[in-house]
């Protein structure tokens, strides 16, 4: 199993959407880059590194691709929303306007990417394991995937359950468009089932910034960012 890569936490992408929706309930939400060291964006960018060939799955407007390019990476994006895909073209070398779930394995050459990024996208898929397995062939011999997922075992959700509540919303961990819910353990099961091994992970969510790492880390994290490699190349 992988080791934690950091003790830092922050506001997850899901929480960011939650807060924005509360502040501007009549304005459509658009993700944007958050430069804070405790934010998942920082963790993803650090895990990607520099001078890599990156596939950004569900790239939205290209806010992460812009940061990857600043680190001398080449970036190809996949985005289902045509308007967002058009914005992403300003930061990606190429953008494929398509549903990530249905992109065939033949869409890209085997071994053509060093990193594949799945930033808060897999929980929206009915069969994320199939997507991970199909697209794994695109990774180079030393390539790896970066996966961020919300944590259904987060303290806030546990407290709601104690009160008999499990109410779907338009945003957050209980987003109506989420088809899958994960704990730390089941997120690892997803990756292992897709023939990946977890090299490490980092928690996100502000409580994890102040709580000791040994004190139930799965309770304080609103999500996790994983770095995973195909089974035959990762540490078990």
Could you read off the pLDDT of 24-51 as tens digits, one per residue? 444 444 566 665 555 678 899 999 999 9
- What is residue 39's predicted lDDT score, i.e. its pLDDT? 66
Q: Determine if the pTM surpasses 0.85.
A: no
What is the band of 177 on the pLDDT scale with cuts at 50, 70, 90? low
For residue 176, how many other CB atoms are within 10 A of its CB? Answer: 10
Percent of the chain with pLDDT over 90: 52
- What is residue 15's predicted lDDT score, i.e. its pLDDT? 44
Q: Return d(Cα 164, Cα 121) in angstroms, integer.
A: 28
Using CB atoms within 10 Å of the CB of residue 35, give its burial: 0 to 12 exposed, 13 to 18 middle, 19+ buried.
Answer: exposed
Assigned CATH for 3-26+38-233: 3.40.50.150
Q: What is the mean pLDDT of residues 174-199?
A: 86
Q: What's the maximum distance between 2 C-alpha atoms anywhere in the chain?
A: 50
Q: Where are the domains of the chain?
A: 3-26+38-233
- What is residue 7's predicted lDDT score, i.e. its pLDDT? 33
Could you read off the pLDDT of 69-121 as tens digits, one per residue? 999 999 999 999 999 999 999 999 999 999 999 999 899 999 999 999 999 99
């Amino acid at each position: 199993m992988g080791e934690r890569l950091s003790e830092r936490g922050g506001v997850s992408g899901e929480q960011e959407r939650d807060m924005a929706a509360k502040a501007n309930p009549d304005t459509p939400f658009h993700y944007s880059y958050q430069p804070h060291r405790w934010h998942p964006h920082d963790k993803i960018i650090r895990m990607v590194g520099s001078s890599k060939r990156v596939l950004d799955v569900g790239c939205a407007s290209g806010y992460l691709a812009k940061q990857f390019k600043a680190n001398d990476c080449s970036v190809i994006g996949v985005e289902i929303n045509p308007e967002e895909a058009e914005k992403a073209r300003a930061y990606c070398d190429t953008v494929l306007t398509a549903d990530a779930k249905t992109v065939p394995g033949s869409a890209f050459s085997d071994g053509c990417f060093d990193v594949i990024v799945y930033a808060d996208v897999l929980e929206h898929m009915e069969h994320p394991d199939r997507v991970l397995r199909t697209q794994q062939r695109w990774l180079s011999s030393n390539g790896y995937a970066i996966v961020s997922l919300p944590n259904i075992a987060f303290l806030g959700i546990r407290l709601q359950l104690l009160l008999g509540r499990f109410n779907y919303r338009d945003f957050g961990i209980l987003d109506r468009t989420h088809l899958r819910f994960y704990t730390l353990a089941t997120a690892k099961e997803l990756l292992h089932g897709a023939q990946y091994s977890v090299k490490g992970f980092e928690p996100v969510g502000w409580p994890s910034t102040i709580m000791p790492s040994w004190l139930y880390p799965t309770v304080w994290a609103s999500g996790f960012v994983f770095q995973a490699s195909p089974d035959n190349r990762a540490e078990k």
